[in-house]
């Protein structure tokens, strides 16, 4: 086959953009119609998506014309610099896991209860900070006087180190959310408790940050005592009813994803490389292009909601995200979509050797005794109600089930939304006041 010439490439790109522009969801429906048999999906796409998009675009364009080509200076600041710039103290620590990974922890020290924040897949501690001092959950909790700790899982941009293996080795990337829960979380939690001389902390997880907690506390139940409350912002465990089109695709093609990426030697996804940074600068560098290109990248994954667009900080948010993940994390999630179970990684015929059984063992979530508060939103394409209900029915200690009052509030609005302070924070504080110490 002849390579497409530049005109053809241009055409391809433009038609893709038009597709996103014109009505992102209509195109989606054509492409994925055979995959999406979930009635929730169609219900979520309301007619006012189009009109809201247009008015938000107009707003973005006005903002842009007022500040043409002026770059938000926060883009070039890293997480510690952003925290300092907003007049908060910041500390940085490195923790070594029992299997040799070096993980970076950031802390905004405070006199209040210890709160440990754990990001989702492809994310990093930056995502609690990059939405700005009025929206970033790290800042909001620090403003309340909490002792805020932010973790980073192995392989993300802050934690690309191991005492024995290098990220250029395939084996470095041989982990899914299972290992993050089993090895990374206990290393970080023990470190925080030792450093603060506390016997327990409050855990806040977003997305994969919740899955890894369920892995830890079901397989190593002694950790339940070390956490006085777990706040689940978008709880992800059972996944067969997931709405997100890309994740449904990964569910359908998880075996191909595994074999093709392995054959091509691709073990890492969307890592923080100079090329990616250049693309981010070019496409996500200002309010308008970040709104058009970068926000849609996460919207296709996690749901559309222009109402929470954080215009001011979009360029900062999308110059920190994505922070890299292993391919295996996604293959494992794809397996959950396909199997309809919340269970360990499926190695196929090697399951016998690994687990002594044909099927991978399920995570015994009935052993999770930590009080869990779930914050759920109807507009979240990665955590659907029917899946959460399966989880909740097995859970011995559900402390709270809160439905976000804004219907379209999406998966990424939990961290990037401009009004996390009004929509998410009050419920979090109420629960921490009741359970935290």
| Residue 362 is a binding residue for ligand NAG (CB under 6 A) | no
Determine the Cα angle at 208 with ends 154 and 194, to 5°: 55
What minimum distance in Å lies between the beta carbon of 268 and ligand NAG? 19
Residue 162 DSSP class: B
| Residue 156 is a binding residue for ligand NAG (CB under 6 A) | no
**Which of 24, 53, 72, 234 touches ligand NAG by CB under 6 A?**
72
Catalytic hit among 159, 207, 339, 377: 207
Contact 385, 242 (CB under 8 A): no
| Residue 425 is a binding residue for ligand NAG (CB under 6 A) | no
Cβ closer to ligand NAG: 67 or 199?
A: 67
Task: Kindly write out the interface string for residues 312-351 of this chain, putting x where it contacts ligand NAG by CB under 6 A and - elsewhere.
Answer: x---------------------------------------
Q: Please tell me the distance from the alpha carbon of residue 322 to that of residue 319, in angstroms, as a whole number.
A: 8
Residue 129 Cα distances to 45, 119, 135, 150, 207, angstroms: 30, 11, 8, 10, 17
| Residue 289 is a binding residue for ligand NAG (CB under 6 A) | no
User: H/E element holding 147?
Assistant: strand 147-150
Cβ closer to ligand NAG: 6 or 65?
A: 65
Output the six-digit token pair for 113.
């209860």
**Which of 202, 208, 307, 420 touches ligand NAG by CB under 6 A?**
307
User: H/E element holding 203?
Assistant: strand 201-207
Q: Please tell me the distance from the alpha carbon of residue 311 to that of residue 314, in angstroms, as a whole number.
A: 5
| Residue 55 is a binding residue for ligand NAG (CB under 6 A) | no
Q: Please tell me the distance from the alpha carbon of residue 121 to that of residue 119, in angstroms, as a whole number.
A: 7
Q: Please tell me the distance from the alpha carbon of residue 39 to that of residue 149, in angstroms, as a whole number.
A: 39
Q: Which of residues 77-116 bind ligand NAG (CB under 6 A)?
A: 78-81
Residue 203 Cα distances to 113, 209, 370, 384, angstroms: 11, 9, 10, 22
Q: Which of residues 387-416 bind ligand NAG (CB under 6 A)?
A: 406, 408
380 classed as catalytic: yes
Contact 59, 311 (CB under 8 A): yes
What minimum distance in Å lies between the beta carbon of 426 and ligand NAG? 13
| Residue 311 is a binding residue for ligand NAG (CB under 6 A) | yes
48 classed as catalytic: no
| Residue 134 is a binding residue for ligand NAG (CB under 6 A) | no
Cβ closer to ligand NAG: 142 or 257?
A: 142
Of the ranges 64-72, 189-197, 240-248, 249-257, which one interacts with ligand NAG (CB under 6 A)? 64-72
| Residue 127 is a binding residue for ligand NAG (CB under 6 A) | no
Cβ closer to ligand NAG: 176 or 410?
A: 410
Compute the half-sphere exposure of residue 327: CA atoms within 13 Å on the CB side of its CA: 18
| Residue 67 is a binding residue for ligand NAG (CB under 6 A) | yes
Residue 101 DSSP class: B
Closest CA to 139 of 150, 123, 128, 154: 128
Q: Please tell me the distance from the alpha carbon of residue 64 to that of residue 418, in angstroms, as a whole number.
A: 18
Closest CA to 382 of 253, 264, 209, 215: 209
What minimum distance in Å lies between the beta carbon of 79 and ligand NAG? 6
Cβ closer to ligand NAG: 206 or 418?
A: 418
Residue 64 Cα distances to 17, 47, 54, 134, angstroms: 20, 26, 15, 21
Contact 404, 352 (CB under 8 A): no
**Which of 15, 51, 70, 171 touches ligand NAG by CB under 6 A?**
70
Of the ranges 18-26, 74-82, 206-214, 356-364, which one interacts with ligand NAG (CB under 6 A)? 74-82
Of the ranges 4-12, 68-76, 194-202, 330-338, which one interacts with ligand NAG (CB under 6 A)? 68-76
Catalytic hit among 49, 119, 332, 411: 411
Could you give the residue numbers annotated as active site?
207, 380, 411
Interface with ligand NAG (CB under 6 A): 63, 67, 70-72, 78-81, 286-287, 307, 311-312, 406, 408, 419, 422
């Amino acid at each position: 086959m002849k390579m497409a010439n530049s005109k053809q490439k241009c055409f391809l790109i433009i038609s893709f953009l038009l597709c996103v522009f014109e009505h992102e969801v209509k195109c989606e429906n054509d492409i994925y119609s055979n995959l999406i048999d979930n009635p929730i999906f169609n219900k979520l796409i309301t007619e006012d998506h189009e009109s809201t998009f247009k008015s938000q675009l107009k707003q973005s364009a006005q903002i842009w014309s007022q500040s043409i080509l002026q770059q938000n200076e926060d883009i070039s600041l890293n997480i510690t610099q952003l925290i300092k710039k907003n007049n908060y103290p910041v500390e940085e620590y490195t923790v070594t896991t029992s299997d040799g990974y070096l993980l970076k922890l950031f802390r905004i020290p405070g006199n209040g209860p210890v709160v440990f924040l754990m990001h989702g897949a492809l994310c990093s501690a930056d995502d609690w900070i990059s939405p700005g001092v009025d929206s970033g959950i790290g800042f909001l909790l620090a403003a309340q006087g909490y002792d805020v700790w932010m973790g980073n899982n192995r392989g993300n941009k802050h934690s690309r180190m191991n005492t024995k293996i290098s990220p250029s080795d395939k084996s470095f990337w041989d982990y899914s959310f299972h290992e993050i829960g089993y090895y990374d979380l206990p290393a970080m939690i023990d470190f925080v408790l030792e450093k603060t001389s506390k016997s327990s902390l409050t855990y806040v997880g977003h997305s994969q940050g919740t899955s890894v907690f369920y892995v830890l506390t079901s397989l190593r139940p002694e950790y339940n005592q070390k956490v006085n409350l777990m706040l689940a912002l978008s709880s992800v465990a059972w996944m067969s009813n997931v709405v997100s089109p890309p994740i449904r695709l990964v569910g359908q093609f998880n075996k191909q994803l595994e074999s093709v990426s392995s054959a091509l030697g691709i073990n890492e996804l969307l890592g923080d490389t100079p090329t990616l940074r250049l693309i981010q600068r070019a496409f996500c560098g200002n309010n308008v292009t970040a709104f058009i290109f970068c926000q849609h990248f996460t919207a296709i994954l996690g749901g559309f909601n222009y109402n929470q667009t954080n215009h001011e900080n979009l360029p900062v948010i999308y110059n920190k995200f994505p922070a890299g993940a292993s391919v295996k994390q996604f293959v494992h999630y794809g397996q959950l979509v396909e199997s309809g179970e919340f269970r360990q990684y499926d190695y196929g015929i090697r399951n016998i050797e690994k687990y002594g059984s044909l099927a991978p063992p399920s995570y015994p979530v009935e052993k999770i005794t930590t009080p869990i508060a779930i914050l759920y939103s109807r507009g979240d394409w990665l955590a659907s109600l029917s899946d959460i209900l399966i989880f909740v029915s097995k859970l011995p200690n559900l402390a709270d089930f809160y439905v976000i009052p804004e219907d379209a509030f999406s998966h990424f609005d939990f961290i990037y939304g401009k009004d996390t302070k009004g929509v998410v924070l009050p419920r979090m504080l109420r629960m921490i006041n009741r359970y935290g110490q």
